[in-house]
Amino acid sequence: MRRALALTLVAGALVGACGIGADDDLQQIDSAELLGLDQTSTSTTTTTAPTTTSTTTIPSTAPASSTTVAEAPTTLGVTTTTIATEPVDLYFLDGMNLVSVPLGLSGDVSPSRVMLALGDGPPTGDAGLGLDTEVPRGLIVTAVEAEGVVSVDLDGELFDPDVIDQRRAIGQIVLTLTGLRGVGQVRFTLDGTPLRVPKRDDQLSEPGEPVSREDYASLLDASPDSVPTSPPSTTSTPPTTDNPPTTPASTTGPPTTVE
C-alpha cells in the first residue's frame, strides 16, 4: 500500500512538472523527502501449518493373564491318644442297700482321689438312676494309706447323726476303699481325734480301731426289715374223694354163668 502511495506521488509530481511554465524554476526533490519511496519494499508472508498432536497411550504393563492352579486336597491325619484307666468300684445307696458303680480313673489311683470321686455323688445318666449317697462333698478331709490301712479323717460338722446315716456312710467309704489293690482295713478320725464307728450287729468299734469289708457286707444284702421270714413248709397230702375207691371182691372157683 505504501508502494502504491509513493507511485501516486511520483506520478503527480511528474504531471506537475509537465505543467510547469517557463517561468517556474525546477526544484529538485531530495530523496529523503520521498520517505524511502524510491526503495523497493519486500513483503514476506509466512504461512504456519497447524501442528497436530497425536497422543498414543501405551500400557505400562501387559494385561494380567488369568491362570487357575488347582490345589491338591490336603489330608490331615487324625491322632488318636489312648489313655489308660484303672477301674474302681464306688458304692452308693440303692434304697437301703449298697451297690457298686464302676468308674475308670486315669493316672495314679490313690485313696484320696477315689474319695473325691465318691464325694461327687452318683454318676449322671442311666448309670446313676435311682442312686443316692450318705457321703456329702467335704465329709472326707484326708485319706492316706500306710501298710494296707487307710486312715480317713472326717469333718466334724458334716458327720452328724441327725443329718446322715452314719453306718451307711461308713459302709460306703469302707467298701469303696477296700476294693483298691493293697487295702484291707480302714480306720477313722473325727477332726483328728480317733473315732468309734458303727459296724456289723449294731456294734461300735473302739476309737481308731481298723474296720474291714466284712463289717459292712450285710449292707450289700437286703436290710433285715425287708428280709422275708422262712416260707411256710408245705406237706404234700394226697387228694381225698367223697367216695373211696371200691376194692373188687376176690372170687374163687370158676366164674358163674347167668342164663
What are the extents of the domains in the chain?
85-223
How many Å separate Cα 111 from the centre of its chain? 31
Where does the chain show beta strands of DSSP type E?
85-94, 97-106, 140-146, 149-154, 185-190, 193-194, 211-212
Q: Could you tell me the three cell numbers for 170?
A: 461308713
Q: Could you tell me the three cell numbers for 194?
A: 480317733
Half-sphere exposure of 215 (CA within 13 A, CB side): 24
State yes or no: pLDDT of 216 exceeds 70. yes
- The set of residues, in sequence order, having a beta carbon less than 8 Å from that of 77 and lying 6+ positions away, is none
Render pLDDT for 99-153 as a digit per residue (tens, 0 to 9).
999 999 988 899 999 999 999 999 999 989 999 999 999 999 999 999 999 999 9
Distance (Å, whole) CA 229 – CA 224: 10
Distance (Å, whole) CA 38 – CA 31: 7
State yes or no: pLDDT of 253 exceeds 90. no
pLDDT-wise least confident of 29-38, 166-175, 211-220: 29-38
Q: Could you tell me the three cell numbers for 180?
A: 483298691
Q: Tell me, what's the pLDDT at 108? A: 82
State yes or no: pLDDT of 249 exceeds 90. no
Quick one: DSSP state of residue 6?
H
3-state secondary structure 85-117: EEEEEEEEEECCEEEEEEEEEECCCCHHHHHHH
State yes or no: pLDDT of 166 exceeds 80. yes
Distance (Å, whole) CA 113 – CA 12: 147
**Could you tell me the pLDDT band of residue 33, with boundaries at 50, 70 and 90?**
low
pLDDT-wise least confident of 75-79, 112-116, 187-191, 222-226: 222-226
Render pLDDT for 217-231 as a digit per residue (tens, 0 to 9).
999 965 444 333 334
pTM above 0.85, yes or no: no
Average pLDDT (171-192) is: 97
State yes or no: pLDDT of 193 exceeds 60. yes
Q: Tell me, what's the pLDDT at 235? A: 44
Distance (Å, whole) CA 57 – CA 100: 91
Q: Tell me, what's the pLDDT at 236? A: 47
State yes or no: pLDDT of 92 exceeds 80. yes
State yes or no: pLDDT of 31 exceeds 50. yes
User: Does residue 29 or residue 86 have the better pLDDT?
Assistant: 86
CA 170, 119, 219 angle in degrees (round to 5)?
Answer: 30
How many Å separate Cα 246 from the centre of its chain? 90
